[in-house]
Amino acid sequence: MQSKDVPRYLRQAREEVILALSAPNAEEECGHRRRAGQFMSEVVRTVHSAPALDCDWSQLRAPE
């Protein structure tokens, strides 16, 4: 994963959590939670393996 991907993956995880919270049924909720977990796991692995990775954290701002 490249440094530009870390904030993007975190934004995608946030979106999946929001979708899970508004899911119409348990099956869709589970799918969104699973995808959010996958995004977060990838970010944690990347940051753990390359703690000096230079990421643009300003990209994490919530959309207006």
Q: Tokens 């946030």 belong to which residue?
A: 14
Q: What CA dihedral angle connects 20, 25, 27 and 33, to 10 degrees?
A: 10
Domains contained in the chain, number: 1
Residue 60 lies in a domain: no
pLDDT tens digits for range 8-52 = 999 999 999 999 999 999 999 999 999 999 999 999 999 999 988
pLDDT tens digits for range 53-63 = 888 888 888 76
pLDDT at 53: 87
pLDDT at 58: 87
Per the structure, the complete domain to which residue 38 belongs is given by 5-49
Residue 42 lies in a domain: yes
Residue 63 lies in a domain: no
Residue 62 lies in a domain: no
User: Residue 45 and residue 61: Cα distance in Å, rounded?
Assistant: 22
pLDDT at 12: 96
Alpha carbon 9 to its chain's center: 4
pLDDT at 55: 87
